[in-house]
Amino acid sequence: MALCQAGLIKEEIEAAFPDLNVQLKKIKTTGDKITDVPLAKVGGKGLFVKEIEESLFRQEIGLAVHSMKDVPTILPEGLHLAAITHREDPRDAVISRNGKRLLDLPRRARIGTSSLRRQSQIRHLRPDFEIIPLRGNLDTRINKIEKEGLDAVVLAAAGMRRMGWEDRITEYLDPELCLPAIGQGALGLECRVLDKKVNSMLNRFNHAITSRCVRAERAFLKRLDGGCQVPIAAHAHLRDEERLVLEGLVASVDGSRVIRDGVAGDPEQPEMLGLDLAELLLAQGADAILREIYR
């Protein structure tokens, strides 16, 4: 998936700058290496970016392509996100064994997912479901439907679409049912702050609307100090080109408690919206859920 995404950016850069020769460098991160343990149990932040950022500092690469949902809200000094590209579909997708939609699956259906965020929301909708933790690339996770007798797997629609596998998707989950991860579907282009040539080149790939939406979501996450160990979700979209709408939630791992709300405001102040929503959820009891999880 990561190579596919980097390849898409490579093609865009080469189309915009025909004289530029772009090479891909494959870097295996901690998150890639640990495939037999759920990320929530590994702990820490930046599991999919740390080694790549170290390569940037060593000037072995000039540009890093990240899934924005994997990027910590605080970047190392000297690095920054020069662009956030046009967002792919941010929703979660269901791939089921018999073509049934998520809520039509039988009682005690076995659902595979790699995300605590998805797990908590699915359990809130259907407490009877058995959640099976999944790791590995897209193919590995999808193949476990047959290999492990799963009724369905839930994963990001963006990855399926970028791989050209839309025909395998049974259902796109409306954000009202399952709120996406912060930054899901968006790619971030990270480089060195002082590399003026690369920064100048990447400016043209920044998508203003996507950038504002993701910035609002990340400000929400930053205020809550969240990571992959905590069921936190948020999704922003522009309404009528005048209002940025941001919805967010904090949930207990078992899905028994879900605190969800939304705010709307000036698209030019996305970080302020993120902070406002975080404070709203904290005032409604999200702080108690977070304290319990962190403890």
Q: Are strands 110-113 and 130-133 parallel, antiparallel or unpaired?
A: parallel
Q: Do 93 and 162 contact (CB within 8 A), yes or no? A: no
Q: Answer for the pair 75, 190: CB distance below 8 angstroms, yes or no.
A: yes
Is 70 a catalytic site residue? yes
Q: Give how far the C-alpha of residue 223 lies from the chain's centroid of Cα atoms, to the nearest Å.
A: 17
CA dihedral of residues 33, 39, 43, 47 (deg, nearest 10): 50
Instruction: Please report which helix (H) or strand (E) contains residue 276, including its range.
Output: helix 270-281
Nearest to residue 188, comparing CAs of 60, 76, 87? 87
Active-site residue (options: 36, 70, 89, 174): 70
Is residue 264 a contact partner of residue 233, using CB atoms and an 8 Å limit? no
Other C-beta atoms closer than 10 Å to the C-beta of 14 total 13
Q: Are 211 and 199 in contact (CB under 8 A)?
A: no
Tokens 């997708």, residue located: 93
Q: Compute the radius of gyration of the chain from its Cα atoms.
A: 19
| Distance (Å, whole) CA 200 – CA 198 | 5
C-alpha neighbours within 13 Å on the C-beta side of residue 88:
22
Q: How far apart are the C-alpha atoms of 15 and 20, rounded to whole Å? A: 9
Residues with active-site annotation: 70
